[in-house]
Amino acid sequence: MKPQLTGVEAAAAGTMEALLGLDYTRKELGQVMPRVRKAMAARQAMGRKHYGMTLAENHAAFDERVRMAWEEALDGLAYSEWMLEGWKFPRPEEPEFNRSGRDYPAGVALECMKLFGRAIVELDQLMRAIGMDPVRKEGQP
């Protein structure tokens, strides 16, 4: 049975599509959104299996939700840098991209870094506004 996207994840996909509709064509969205919805449904199923609940079923407090988003954005920033490093310094066992002309993968990594960076700045401002310290203390979960 094909996993169905529901709850917070379905709402997020819908919001993403609406917001991206300002910058991308219907054709571009038609190519990516089915993959996004399928991937989010798979993540939702993984969450249910691994954590025993979906994101919508997690009743964490608002500040914990903000902290989780902050930490995911930090991870995204690090992964973007990792992509960029892999593009600049490929390992011999990795497939070779056409490195002549437009550096498309490097450009994607840089765009991701800008987007995650913006998210981090916005989340940092929100955390400080509600009196949170964004950095976990040693030993804190």
DSSP state of 140: -
How far apart CA 5 and CA 40 sit, in angstroms, is 7
As given in the structure block, the two tokens for residue 101 are 């002309």
| pTM to 2 decimal places | 0.79
DSSP 70: H
Question: pLDDT by residue (tens digit) across 63-119?
Answer: 999 999 999 999 999 999 998 887 777 666 766 655 554 567 788 889 999 999 999
